[in-house]
Amino acid sequence: MRHYDLVILGAGTGNMLLDEQLAHLSTAIVEPDRFGGTCLNRGCIPSKMFVAAADTAENARSGALLGVHANVESVDWKAIRERVFGRIDPLHDSAVDYRRANGVDVFTESSRFIAPKVLRVGPEEISAETFVISVGSRPAMPSIPGLDTVPYQTSDTVMRTDELPVSMAVIGGGLIAAEFGHVFGAFGTDVTIVQRGPRLLMAEDEQVSERFTELASRRHRVLLQASVTSVEPRAGGVALNVNNPDGNQVVEAEMLLICVGRRPNTDRLDAVAGGLALDEHGHISTDSNYRTSVPGVWAMGDAANHFQLKHMANAESRVVRHNMLHPQDLRTLSNRVAPHAVFTNPQIASVGLTEQEARRRGTEFLVSVRNYSETAYGWALEDTTSFVKVLVNPLDRAILGAHIIGPQAATLIQPLIQAMSLKLTVDQVAREVLYIHPAVTEVVEQALLNVY
């Protein structure tokens, strides 16, 4: 049995853990898939490259609002796909070569714990003083009769499909469904979204969720409060039997895309055999310092938290590295401010409490909503549907939450994230900072100034 100082399970964020501070350790990385993890190969990065192309197509079509008449002559799916994966795919081999050239053993077989801090990797067993588990997550699959009889795609596979489908049925109404609905709809696919809840993007602030549902329904066929009772093959595609308030109906499509959430990969690791405590959703339980129930074993990212955010995993890796090196000076990461964005059309970004969360908790708040259309740059965009929403504590004037739906929302929300992280009041951010006129950032300024 080979023994190491450090074994890292998962080469997504786990691969980022290694730097010169850990170079003195004998180290192994175990990654049965591709270096870079979900974010690089199947998630954040490739999907946003597709979104950039989709945004270009949508901007061309909407140019008439500004007096610019343009058409999208065609969409070259294979060229778009090659631009994305032609850049991404070579990174795996170069990452493996780099680690091996620098003295790190790389195992590419599947692995399972057979005892605490003992791992079977392919045909051999390895152990280590320290383990870091960052094995990520994968698409969750719903229990739908007939699903095993039809072809379907998930977020892991849909970007590599050979042809652009004429029609697509999407099961699910969360952020992955919203992003891929935008991408394929912009490229000309007829999209139908089947959502169990009363709105799309149910996790967002209700006002944002309602607005997005309204706008998405103009672009796609959206079935709400709908459940798929079964699926079956049809010539040229699939048929979904759907029950909703209008009764039973059949949705036919060339391609089926399933987007009902993600699950941690801890079951594939046999975490329980490794002595690791799991929560009710299968995530590895950790304390605030990312220590697990087994001394010397740390966990982070999608395997350990419910955020499913790469920027959160990146921040966790910095904390874990520090804590491994400085066990007498443990750090933690405040999850109080955990922003996210949905790169659909329109873009959405959020941080902190939603209005419905504040009401549910009994938290007192003031609310301010400012429309893009009330700013000069909003006029320039001819924007009539976007807005910024801010929730503020009426006593100490701290920002409790911020929610934006509209162009560049993920960028616009950043000063509000900083204000919340640095504990600045709404008045400091609104009145002690100059906002460029007539930039779109004025809509943030006006929302802050409007908090009474």
pLDDT bin (cut points 50, 70, 90) of residue 119 is very high
Q: Are residues 254 and 267 in the same domain?
A: no
Q: Is the pLDDT of residue 336 over 90?
A: no
Distance CA 205, CA 354 (A): 5
387: left (phi over 0), alpha (psi -120 to 50) or beta: beta
The pLDDT confidence band at residue 178, using thresholds 50, 70 and 90, is very high
Domain annotation covers residue 338: no
Structural domain tally of the chain? 3
**How confident is the model at residue 216, as a pLDDT?**
98
- The CATH number of the domain holding residue 245 is 3.50.50.60
| Average pLDDT of every residue of the chain | 97
Task: Indicate whether this model's pTM tops 0.85.
Answer: yes
* 419 and 438 co-located in one domain: yes
Whether pLDDT at 185 is above 90: yes
pLDDT of 334 > 90? The answer is no
pLDDT in tens, 243-257: 999 899 999 999 999
CATH of the domain at 430: 3.30.390.30
**Domain ranges, residue 196:** 147-260
Predicted pLDDT of residue 245 = 94
Query: What's the rounded Cα separation, in Å, for the pair 30 and 81?
Result: 28
Supply the pLDDT for residue 150. 98
The answer to whether residue 336 sits within a structural domain is: no
Question: Do 190 and 255 belong together in one domain?
Answer: yes
Q: Which tokens hold the place of 173?
A: 């109404």
Asked if the structure places residue 340 within a domain, the reply is no
pLDDT (tens digit, 9 = 90+) per residue, 422-446?
999 999 999 999 999 999 999 999 9
Instruction: Give the number of C-alpha atoms closer than 13 A to the C-alpha of residue 10, restricted to the C-beta side.
Output: 30
* pLDDT confidence tier of residue 221, bands split at 50, 70 and 90: very high
Provide the pLDDT for residue 452: 81
**13 and 117 share a domain?**
yes
Catalytic annotation, residues:
437
